[in-house]
Chain A
């Protein structure tokens, strides 16, 4: 019973009694502590957003879904053989890195932008990109604004604070030489709500976020997202630095979903493709070459991810296109073979 959460009493009193548990960082060892702990606990501890439709969102009965959620489900499928064995921890922008560092969560899949500072200074590792995003603006349609060139000095802009969004906005407005009023909230919902009430003339966040938030405004058709993209926001899952085995498992759980789409494997045909002659199919589905063993898992890991979660294209379609959040073509998030920039190292 070594659920960290189950050590309440012990830890509370132990720390008061100054019993130093002389454990180091745990880095460099061959075994993965995170993997062992996860197997013992029987679930993956996954940090998600406090609600962003299409990425990570809970319904009335408390079930989580979204493309970020599916990264955690893929990891659970790979490690614990069951995609449902995930506990979700909704985190604010402020808490997210601290929660990961303090081992409250083991995977942070919370539409987090990959930047040098975060990668280098915060003691974290970004394992890949599951969505290429960029910051944009939403304005009321009736305002007649067609692009950011129509912005006038004196306008107020609602946004979330403490993220790259706020910094990009400041940079952008400074470049344009516009005086503006920043109305910053810690929660995306509050920012959207405040914009919807007319307190702000524009609302800025990542474009995927804008699309998702637009659908939940009282009258979605009364608002448009301006065409400009003012920043690069590659969003991806994050893990703690210092556990390379766990890092690899999360990275390749994501990669195998993308690789599967590239080679045409989906949840429907995975069983039949197990007998395929294509070596790529064999590697992904664990028929040959022991890819899973190399990661410290079993060889069926890829098969389980694809059957239980789906390939990247399926996940994207289900959560972003079919839900009406980002209908239309996938843009940058199309595979590189189809003109997008989704490209992962080969699974070999």
Chain B
């Protein structure tokens, strides 16, 4: 490159290089921009393959010209450091930004400009873009599944109640703080279960009974994820302790259990809960499909949680165990007061990641015939009145999942940072 350009940009010819370089870069972007949005070709006078790569060429020269080390101009230095370090770097920058400019209008027109927002049936979708009317019409189904429309208030109230009870811990003072673990580990799950059982399932207090296979949509995603989370954590905790136990039988049972669940796909576990598990029960005893599915997911994820917690237990220095013992504490007391609080703190990000995986695994309940939000979008796309709108449904479901998971993963990352700085 250096041989081609007779000017060697440096601080002495900054005054020439910077304006010329900036102008060339501007020109190259203008060319692409006009090309994409107005379908014009400003460089029509240049023919042949050169025409196609002209913006790239201009941009490269421009970037070369403004690549001046220690120019004294703060913004230029930052610019060079971030996206204009060397020729290869500059090329990547140009290709990426050009591609973004090229792709943008296609996305924009499909998502917004040519999309349809008003109306209440498929005929309203006349534009070439997305048909968001579909989402609007099916919104209630995507959120509540096949739950009877007149009864939806029951789901809303249950969720509000559960959230309110969940926030309980925030308003507690020092006095009751020590009971908080007990509250979240025992009372809260039972409370949540009672709410769901009586309010969402119904059948008592003059509430119509709604069988679980009518539940669905996002609310089912939440119900499944919530209960699976609640159950998998204590199970995982005991498995992790069991795997590090000195008792041979306990250890091998834990190892066997953990490795079994980690070795099989969740889908086969759900198959098992659907077709085999009923055979294992005394005849006449029937456990609801949803309950079986939740237990299957909880057991499956518990094995992963156990491995995460084990990592935390292993990371603790031996001195902690010895110190606890020298204080005369027994196994349970030392674990409860000394070991677990420290070990769990280390592995909070790992636990959060497992929970994240659990949330992403909930759509698999489709194998037992339960349709949460992904399943509902998949069902809705086969509805005769709304054929051919698969894309919109998946994007909607994807958006919701992305929001949930992104927030969760960012939260766990910030926790990770916070924890690592504390140590």
Contacts and interface: CB of A to CB of B under 8 A. Distances in A.
Interface string B165-208: 00000000000000000000000000001000100010110000
A345 interface: no
Interface stretch (A8-16, A76-84, A261-269, A286-294): A8-16
Most chain A Cβ neighbours within 10 Å, of B281, B287, B379: B287
Main SS at interface, chain B:
loop
B203 A193 contact: no
Interface in A113-167: none
Interface stretch (B80-88, B304-312, B315-323, B380-388): B380-388
A344 interface: no
Given A3-B209, A61-B149, A62-B146, A15 B285 contact: yes
Contact of A91 (B278, B281, B369, B388): B369
A21 B211 contact: no
A8 B213 contact: no
B211 A87 contact: yes
A24 B384 contact: no
Contacts of A178: none
A6 B203 contact: yes
B275 interface: yes
Contact of A190 (B209, B291, B382): B382
A98 B277 CA distance: 10
Nearest to B277: A102
Contacts of B149: 61-62
Contacts of B201: 5
B287 A3 contact: no
Interface string B278-307: 100111111111010001000000000000
Contacts of B211: 5, 87, 89
B203 A26 contact: no
A22 interface: yes
B256 interface: no
Report the interface size class on chain A: 35 or more
A50 B146 CA distance: 12
B282 A8 contact: no
Interface string A249-261: 0000000000000
Contacts of A23: 282-284
Interface in A266-307: none
B369 A12 contact: no
Contacts of A26: 283-284
A226 B212 CA distance: 40
Given A62-B214, A90-B369, A98 B274 contact: yes
A24 B284 CA distance: 9
Contact of B369 (A24, A25, A92): A92
Nearest to A213: B384
Given A61-B149, A193-B382, A101 B197 contact: no
A61 B151 CA distance: 12
A24 B212 CA distance: 28
A189 B382 contact: yes
A3 B204 CA distance: 11
A50 to B, nearest CB: 8
B301 to A, nearest CB: 18
6 contacts: A9-B193, A11-B285, A23-B282, A50-B369, A92-B369, A102-B278
Given A87-B211, A192-B382, 4 more contacts: A8-B197, A11-B287, A90-B213, A103-B284
Interface of B: 146, 148-149, 193, 197, 201, 203-204, 209, 211-214, 274-275, 278, 281-289, 291, 295, 368-369, 379, 381-382, 384, 387-388
Task: Name the 8 nearest CB pairs between A and B, nearest first.
Answer: A216-B384, A189-B382, A102-B278, A4-B286, A21-B282, A23-B284, A103-B286, A98-B275
Interface of A: 1, 3-9, 11-12, 15, 20-26, 33, 50, 58, 61-62, 87, 89-92, 94-95, 98, 101-104, 187, 189-190, 192-193, 196, 215-216, 218
